[in-house]
Copies of this chain bind each other. A is one copy, B any other.
Amino acid sequence: MSLLVVGSIGIDTLETPAGKAADVVGGAATYFAYAASFFTPVRMVAAVGDDFPTAVLDDLARRGVDLGGVEHRAGKTLRWSGRYHEELNVRDTLDFDIGVFGGFQPTLPDAFRDSPYAFLANIDPALQGRVLDQLTSPRLVGCDTMNHWIEGSRPALDALLKRVHMLVINDEEAAQLTGHRNVVKAAAQILDLGLRNVLIKRGEYGVIEFSGESVFAVPAFPLEEVFDPTGAGDCFAGGVMGELARSGDLSPAGLRRAIVYGSVMGSFVVEDFGPRRLQKLTRQEIDGRYRQFMSLTDVPAV
């Protein structure tokens, strides 16, 4: 089934302990769409400037991403330049220019309004709500957010969280949102808002998911080298939502399977700069790594 994503498309300049890369395509919607496209048809809502490489849009289209919601605006694409520390969970923003993403008001093409699955990537929660308003029959809506909105747009974010089914955030954001550093307490408070599931990303330690009575924890795939952590969280979300949209299986087992596929996608994207690794990735490699996750986490019965 179709999966809608709304979020940023950007051009990044990245510096990591493994090296540097200039003018790499990025943005949450881009990473999400690359990852989800391995599982299901994707509908993309975003904005690009006239400097964005056409080849990348063509590549996404070939992968079954419907770009009908990508607005081409006069001006520059959003640009971010960042440097990661040796501890890869810490990064400094060196430069940021919102470009044509400033003032972007996401409008869904009519053909996108019936999307049963949707992911509201990290943008202003007021805009995330505006997208939700335009969906006619959502079956599963997930969303992401960040410290900037938790601090500065709390009423809009609180209102949004009451309307979505699944929240995908990292542990720092969960603590900031709830005031609890303890992940069990933080998740309980978030679920109290009425969400079905909360997925808390823990970087190199993996993901922990809470749904009422059930808890699922999966480690990150142990990699000898992380070239570039950019987009890992967005690819995780793309794998999760992509697999759920493909299977339609929202049962606890279906969700666990999706979370592991998300972890697989997150583990691949960090193996090269930007989305390069995903551009070469095969479905066979994805399923191979899923099986490696089964082995990595297999607890023998007693």
A116 within 8 A of B: no
- Contact: A215 with B224, CB < 8 Å? no
Measured between beta carbons, the chain B residues less than 8 angstroms from A300 are 253, 256-257, 260
| Residues from chain B with Cβ under 8 Å of A223 in the complex | 182, 184
Task: Name the residue on B nearest A223 (C-beta).
Answer: B184
Asked if A5 is at the interface (CB within 8 A of a chain B CB), the reply is no
| A139 at the binding interface (Cβ < 8 Å) | no
How far in angstroms is the closest Cβ of chain B from A192? 14
CB distance from A40 to the nearest CB of B (A): 15
Instruction: Give the Cβ gap from A67 to chain B, nearest Cβ, in Å.
Output: 30
What residues of B have a CB within 8 angstroms of the CB of A297 in the complex? 216-218, 297, 299
Asked whether, in the complex, the Cβ of B299 is within 8 Å of the Cβ of A224, the reply is: no
A260 to B215, CA, bound (A): 17
Knowing A216-B296, A297-B217, A299-B293 are in contact, say whether A222-B184 is a contact too (CB < 8 A). yes
Whether the pair B219, A208 counts as a contact (CB closer than 8 A) is yes
Q: Contact between B224 and A185 (Cβ–Cβ < 8 Å)?
A: yes
Interface of A is mostly: mixed
Contact partner, A296, options B181, B183, B217, B287, Cβ 8 Å: B217
Q: By the criterion CB–CB under 8 Å, are B225 and A182 in contact?
A: yes
> Given the complex, which residues of B lie within 8 Å of A205, measured CB to CB?
202, 205-206, 219
A254 — nearest CB in chain B belongs to which residue?
B300
Q: Which residues of A (177-210) have their CB < 8 Å from a CB of B?
A: 181-185, 188, 202, 204-206, 208
Of B183, B206, B224, B256, which one neighbours A298 at CB under 8 angstroms? B256
Mark A287-302 against chain B: 1 for CB-CB distance below 8 A, else 0. Answer: 1001101111111111
Most chain B beta-carbon neighbours within 10 Å: one of A181, A225, A260, A302: A302
A92 contacts the other chain (Cβ, under 8 Å)? Answer: no
A residues contacting B by CB (< 8 A) are 86-87, 181-185, 188, 202, 204-206, 208, 214-219, 222-226, 253, 256-257, 260, 287, 290-291, 293-302
New A-B contacts (7) at CB < 8 Å, excluding given A205-B219, A293-B299: A183-B222, A184-B222, A206-B217, A217-B219, A218-B219, A219-B219, A260-B300
Q: 19 A-B pairs, CB-CB below 8 angstroms?
A: A182-B225, A182-B226, A184-B222, A184-B224, A188-B224, A205-B205, A205-B219, A206-B219, A208-B222, A215-B296, A216-B296, A216-B297, A216-B298, A217-B296, A217-B297, A218-B219, A218-B297, A257-B299, A297-B297
